[in-house]
Amino acid sequence: MNGWSALDRFLRTDPQDVGCGQAMEMLHIYAELAAAGAPVQEHYPDMAAHLRACGPCGEDFEGLLAAVRGEAG
């Protein structure tokens, strides 16, 4: 990724982005559906927009997804 695209990605905001509060509230539901293979990005585009943009929430999601998949495996 070059500087232009990195800066563009940083400055780009999605009006659908739900913010951390709501994302943290429903993270367990989203992660469990994602682990089950549900099309979560289509069902919850506002949540997906936030997880793409927010590093800390994205990290928590990846961890929770790994934990749920580990339990199932």
Partner 1 sequence: MTDHAAALAGLDAESAEWPRALACSGPRREEALAQLHGLLVRIAQKEVARRGPRLQLTGPELDDLAYQAAADALVAITSKLGQFRGESRFTTWAYKFVMFEVSAKIGRHFWRHPGVRLDAEDWERLPDRFGFDPAQEAEWRDLLAALHRAVDQELTARQRRIFVAIVLNNVPLDALVIELACNRNAIYQTLFDARRKLRAALAAGGYIDDDGRRRS
The residues of the shown chain that bind partner 1, judged by CB under 8 A, are: 1-4, 6-8, 10-13, 17, 19-21, 24, 26-29, 31-32, 54-57, 59-60, 62-64, 66-68, 70-71
Alpha-carbon distances of 28 from 4, 8, 12, 53, 64, rounded to whole Å: 35, 30, 27, 18, 8
Q: Output 46 or 60, the one with its CB closest to partner 1.
A: 60
Q: Output 19 or 43, the one with its CB closest to partner 1.
A: 19
Length of the chain: 73
Q: How far is the CB of 58 from partner 1 (least distance, A)?
A: 11
Whether the Cβ atoms of residue 45 and residue 15 lie closer than 8 Å to each other: no
